[in-house]
A and B are shown apart, each in its own frame.
Chain A
Amino acid sequence: MALLKNPKILVASDLRLGEALFLGPEGWTPDCLAATVAHDDVEAAALEARGKSDVAANRVVDVYLTEVEIGPDGSPVPLHYREKMRIRGPSVRPDLGKQAWLGQSGDVK
């Protein structure tokens, strides 16, 4: 078991909607804050295995791990601006995407 340089979460797209989903303890969720965080390679491999199985079950597509940092409240926040975009929605349309209902609008740093 080796600690990861940065923790990771598993991201995918919903087969039916195409919406970005995150793997949490209760299954796939549209809310990044509820994602399960892998801190070491064993945990990351477990997330990936679950993702692979859900791809095979035609629940999600385009599954991949992405690095996060852990915020002060313990929630994961993607490190890369691409995934920051995915957890909110288009920065030019704050009325659309997850930000419209999650209240996560703000600048992508």
Chain B
Amino acid sequence: MTAHDPNQARRPNSPTTTYLYDNYDAAFVRERVSEFREQVRRRLAGATTEDEFRPFRLMNGLYLQLHAYMLRVAIPYGVLTARQMRRLAEIADKWDKGYGHFTTRQNLQFNWPKLADVPDILEALADVEMHAIQTSGNCIRNVTADHFAGVAADEHEDPRPTAEFLRQWSSLHPEFSFLPRKFKIAVSGADEDRAAIKVHDIGLRIVRGPDSEPGYQVVAGGGLGRSPFVGKLVREFLPREDLLAYLEAILRVYNRFGRRDNKYKARIKILVHETGLDQIKAEIESEFAAMDRSPFAHDAEEFARIASYFAPPPYETLPAHSATLEAAKKENRAFAAFAEVNISPHKVDGYAIVTVSLKPIGGIPGDATSAQMRALAEASEKFGFGELRVSHEQNIILPHVKKDDLHALWKMLEPAGLATANAGLLTDIISCPGLDYCSLATARSIPIAQAISRRFQDPERQRLIGKLGIKISGCINACGHHHVGAIGILGLEKKGRESYQITLGGDPSLSASIGELLGPGVSADQVADVIEHIVDFYLSERRGDERFIDTWRRLGHARFKDAVRREGEYGADI
């Protein structure tokens, strides 16, 4: 039974590769915009105080930062159409300062909106089936997913239907709109975990059961922030039929037992850690067994309705090998580097997944100008069925590009400053906005990313180093995911100055681990030096193509610590 009617989907979309709003969805979002418009009007008229207004603005993704308001727009499970990307560009030009910042949770932030303009911005978003609902506040946040969903060669099931199913379940959920703290869910359906499911409040990995029935591996209690934890496996296999009921059970246990006396201990990770895995599993299973599950009974028809929107586009039948691509690589070294680094295997022969890096050398990680947004929209229409993805690594993905078209695409991206060949390499740095924008930050993070990026700008050196994730946060809240960076950097205040702690050995994947502290904090101008010493030591010790994280695990943290300490003794300024 569903309130939705696919016949009412409001716009043509041929091919249909993304979720479409029907009248029900559209009315839901419009009502929220109207409601917030009235709340803003009353606030500006002095009818409500800031204390009264704050929860309303946060529920609509509106923060007050150091220099201005900031509006966080949801990009559900990272999926964008060209039309939506263009609308983001229009908003950036009309109501902001000509750019936006793609975040580590598949959202986009506008840094300069005026309070009075925000209802109009939300209206403009609603026109293209977007919103900012639940991008803030103590509720279930934007559900995130693998940015290669539906196209990855190693995928066994597309996570987007599950993510959309959960988005609809969690939107304005009456029981979970005032949780002890925010709650984040991530979904993956591939061999490789690109959604960092083990460091989310709930991580879902789509798997098959004993009789090949679809279901989920359920991980709970992961998270970063002040107290980082890798999530614990609470269900080895959860049949799809039980998905909503089981998640209800987890949320109910959290809602009942999660701490509300101390916001720093209020996340479910603390509850799981303090209660213990066996006990928390018992609580969840007990709630699951006792609850009236009928309201959450699996609606296969509704799941199928949602899944139908994520149909593959009309791919051509092509050979796996592209002679055009190989010829172009031979003719153009810069393109060859791009093709080597920024292209990932596609599940359909003759196609490729393209990662467009938003990390130009010395640039601001995740920022895109309105002109770049339009260029990306145009590129997706010309070469990728008008579909884009946003990764939690703050890059843009073109998920369906013919190998034969890759060189033409590169020629289009290059003049827009969107052809940096560094996806997954050292300069593909994740960074939060830090103290340049954020009122919670204790130090700047963007200038640190820029300094490291410039230090390692030589593309050949980057490729020699290989895959290496550097992640930077400007405060303990860890929006830059520093805990799970192979090299993590945390900006803090020490004696009235910015100071940076460095951690090694973090891993956001299925082999997740939390980084270990290298030593005392260093000043901003020392960070790039320390990173260089760490990388040099890694290169001197690695075996073959061994990744940084594997070398670190083989040698142990103490060896790296000792190497950096010795560099300091030999005169390096660290």
Q: Which residues of A contact B (CB under 8 A)?
A: 13, 15-20, 55-58, 61-62, 79-82, 85-86, 89-93, 96-98
Residues of A contacting B435 in the complex (Cβ-Cβ under 8 angstroms): 81-82, 85
Task: Across the A-B interface, give the 10 residue pairs with the lowest CB-CB distance, nearest first.
Answer: A90-B436, A18-B69, A18-B68, A58-B46, A61-B50, A92-B446, A97-B67, A92-B436, A86-B66, A18-B64
Determine the residue in chain A with the shortest Cβ distance to B442: A82
Apart from A20-B67, A91-B444, A93-B364, what 6 extra A-B contacts exist at CB < 8 Å?
A18-B115, A81-B496, A85-B444, A86-B66, A92-B450, A96-B112
B235 interface hit (Cβ, 8 Å): no
- Please tell me if the beta carbons of B447 and A57 are within 8 angstroms of each other in the complex: no
B27 interface hit (Cβ, 8 Å): no
How far is A82 from B69 in the complex, measured between Cα atoms in Å? 17
- Please tell me if the beta carbons of B50 and A90 are within 8 angstroms of each other in the complex: no
Residues of B contacting A90 in the complex (Cβ-Cβ under 8 angstroms): 67, 436-437, 446
- Please tell me if the beta carbons of A81 and B497 are within 8 angstroms of each other in the complex: yes
B114 interface hit (Cβ, 8 Å): yes
Residues of B contacting A96 in the complex (Cβ-Cβ under 8 angstroms): 67, 97, 112
B487-530 contacts to A (CB < 8 Å): 496-498
Name which of A57, A80, A90, A93 has the most chain B CB atoms within 10 A of its CB. A90
Determine the residue in chain A with the shortest Cβ distance to B47: A58
Q: How large is the interface on B (under 10, 10 to 19, 20 to 34, 35 or more residues)?
A: 20 to 34
Q: Which residues of B contact A (CB under 8 A)?
A: 43-44, 46, 49-50, 64-69, 97, 112, 114-116, 364, 435-437, 444, 446-447, 450, 496-498
Determine the residue in chain A with the shortest Cβ distance to B115: A16
Residues of A contacting B97 in the complex (Cβ-Cβ under 8 angstroms): 96
How far is A94 from B197 in the complex, measured between Cα atoms in Å? 37
| Nearest CB in chain B: distance from A3 CB, A | 21
Residues of A contacting B115 in the complex (Cβ-Cβ under 8 angstroms): 15-18
| Nearest CB in chain A: distance from B276 CB, A | 40
- Please tell me if the beta carbons of B64 and A13 are within 8 angstroms of each other in the complex: yes
How far is A38 from B46 in the complex, measured between Cα atoms in Å? 29
| Nearest CB in chain A: distance from B303 CB, A | 42
Name which of B68, B447, B450, B498 has the most chain A CB atoms within 10 A of its CB. B68
How far is A61 from B64 in the complex, measured between Cα atoms in Å? 9
Contact pick for A92, options B68, B447, B496, CB 8 Å: B447
How far is A109 from B476 in the complex, measured between Cα atoms in Å? 22
| Nearest CB in chain A: distance from B110 CB, A | 12
A-B contact pairs, 24 of them (CB 8 A): A13-B64, A15-B43, A15-B44, A17-B69, A17-B115, A18-B64, A18-B65, A18-B114, A20-B66, A55-B50, A56-B49, A57-B46, A62-B64, A80-B496, A81-B497, A85-B66, A85-B435, A86-B67, A90-B437, A90-B446, A91-B447, A92-B447, A97-B67, A98-B67
How far is A91 from B441 in the complex, measured between Cα atoms in Å? 14
